[in-house]
């Protein structure tokens, strides 16, 4: 699907994308695969060149992506390190990609200007040593961690790559590690499924001084045992979102709805839906989040290449822009770049454009 870029001058900081090379791992999961793994098989490697091809570095004829934030995904771990320290390898790799972009060879575009890595919070006091290594590896670009807590009683909802322990964010061992984020001034990205948003509410209330971002609108579900139940569960999801928004330390990422867990659309990958169709599907979720969190605690995300299931990169951002067509200039500036710049402490990307 090829579309004319809407509002091509609007600066965008994409606060959520991945980089990986999962080709060596795919043989472990032969067909028939879970739909999520089929999405991965469609993009088995996604490194600097693929990211540049999608974002086009803010070049003419593309969306004005001035910079990005990398989100951990368990790739490029360092096999030579201990189990706890392996994730440091991912940050080392991504910092190299960031340095490649910062060379100026690709214009003013700054990929991976912020890096979110992974540390196992259930290490308790031992998490501090890992966090310190991640900070050092990130060379000022490391901003926080994600320790995903997605879980469901139905194993077909997530498929084999995931499944955190049930109630992870409520556990004492997790919180013993989590408290280190406060002392080190790091942020936390929370990925859970819609029925688990209450776990994030409980965590946010227990640590009101640690900035938390809820990924993917809280991941409303339309897969496996939840298939066809989006409308039935909408009010429950919306109620949880509004309650979470009462926690002033929490922000929300507007996106992730095109991934297979949400199935909006329910055909993929990349079946050619246009931005008008996608905007119609996503509007109830995006607008509910913005109404709850306001335009100062919400940020649009690509979740690429996972959301390639439902939309090409240009079409995905066109759909977002259709949803916010009537928003003010200041509101758009916040939702598309300003809030991400503040949350991940990369305001220099916007200062450079002034």
Q: How far is CA 247 from CA 2, 197, 253, in A?
A: 40, 13, 15
Which tokens belong to 202? 């409980």
Domain ranges across the chain: 11-351
The pLDDT, as a whole number, for residue 59 is 82
**Long-range CB contacts (within 8 A, 24+) of 225-232:** 225/154, 225/156, 225/157, 226/154, 226/157, 227/263, 230/264
**268, two tokens:** 């993929």
SS3 content of the chain, % helix, strand, coil (to 5): 45, 15, 40
pLDDT at 56: 87
Least confident of 8-22, 69-83, 149-163, 166-180: 149-163
> What's the confidence (pLDDT) of residue 240?
98
Question: Distance between CA 136 and CA 142 in Å, rounded?
Answer: 8
Distance of CA 16 to the CA centre of its chain: 4
List beta partners, residue 250. Answer: 212
Strands 45-46 and 64-71: unpaired
Sequential DSSP letters for 186-250: -EEEE---GGGHHHHHHHHHH-TTS-EEE-GGG----SGGGTT-HHHHHHHHHHHHHHHHTSTTE
pLDDT tier at 90, thresholds 50, 70, 90: very high
For range 94-122, the mean pLDDT: 96
Give the pLDDT of residue 352: 65
In whole angstroms, give the CA distance from residue 142 to residue 304: 20
First to last CA, the chain: 33
pLDDT in tens, 166-195: 999 999 999 999 999 999 999 999 999 999
Percent over 90 (pLDDT), the chain? 86
In CATH terms, the fold of domain 11-351 is TIM Barrel (3.20.20)
What is the rounded distance in angstroms from the CA atom of residue 133 to the CA atom of residue 137?
Answer: 6
pLDDT-derived band of residue 42, with 50, 70 and 90 as boundaries? confident
Is the predicted pLDDT of residue 353 greater than 60, yes or no? no
- pTM score: 0.97
Q: 């009462």: which residue's tokens? A: 246
């Amino acid at each position: 699907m090829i579309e004319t870029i809407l509002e091509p001058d609007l600066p965008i900081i994409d606060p959520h994308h991945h980089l990986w090379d999962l080709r060596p791992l795919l043989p472990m999961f032969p067909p028939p695969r879970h739909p999520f793994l089929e999405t991965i098989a469609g993009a088995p490697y996604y490194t600097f060149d693929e990211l540049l091809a999608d974002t086009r570095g803010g070049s003419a004829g593309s969306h004005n992506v001035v910079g990005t934030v990398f989100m951990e995904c368990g790739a490029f771990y360092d096999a030579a390190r201990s189990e706890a320290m392996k994730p440091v390898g991912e940050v080392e790799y991504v910092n190299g990609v960031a340095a490649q972009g910062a060379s100026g060879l690709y214009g003013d575009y700054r990929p991976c200007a912020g890096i979110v890595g992974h540390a196992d919070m259930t290490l308790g006091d031992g998490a501090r040593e890992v966090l310190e290594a991640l900070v050092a590896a990130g060379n000022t670009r490391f901003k926080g961690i994600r320790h995903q807590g997605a879980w469901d009683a139905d194993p077909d909802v997530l498929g084999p790559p995931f499944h955190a322990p049930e109630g992870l964010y409520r556990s004492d061992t997790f919180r013993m590690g989590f408290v280190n984020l406060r002392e080190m001034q790091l942020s936390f990205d929370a990925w859970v499924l819609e029925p688990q948003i209450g776990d994030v509410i409980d965590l946010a209330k227990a640590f009101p001084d640690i900035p938390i971002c809820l990924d993917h609108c809280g991941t409303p579900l339309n897969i496996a045992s939840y298939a066809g139940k989006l409308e039935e569960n909408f009010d429950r999801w919306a109620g949880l979102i509004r309650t979470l928004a009462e926690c002033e330390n929490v922000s929300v990422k507007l996106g992730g709805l095109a991934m297979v867990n949400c199935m909006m659309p329910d055909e993929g990958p990349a079946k050619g839906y246009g931005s008008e169709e996608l905007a119609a599907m996503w509007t109830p979720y995006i607008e509910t989040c913005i109404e709850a969190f306001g335009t100062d605690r919400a940020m649009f995300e690509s979740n690429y290449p996972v959301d390639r299931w439902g939309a090409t990169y240009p079409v995905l951002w066109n759909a977002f822009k259709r949803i916010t067509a009537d928003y003010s200039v200041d509101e758009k500036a916040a939702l598309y770049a300003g809030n991400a710049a503040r949350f991940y402490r990369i305001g220099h990307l916007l200062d450079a454009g002034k």
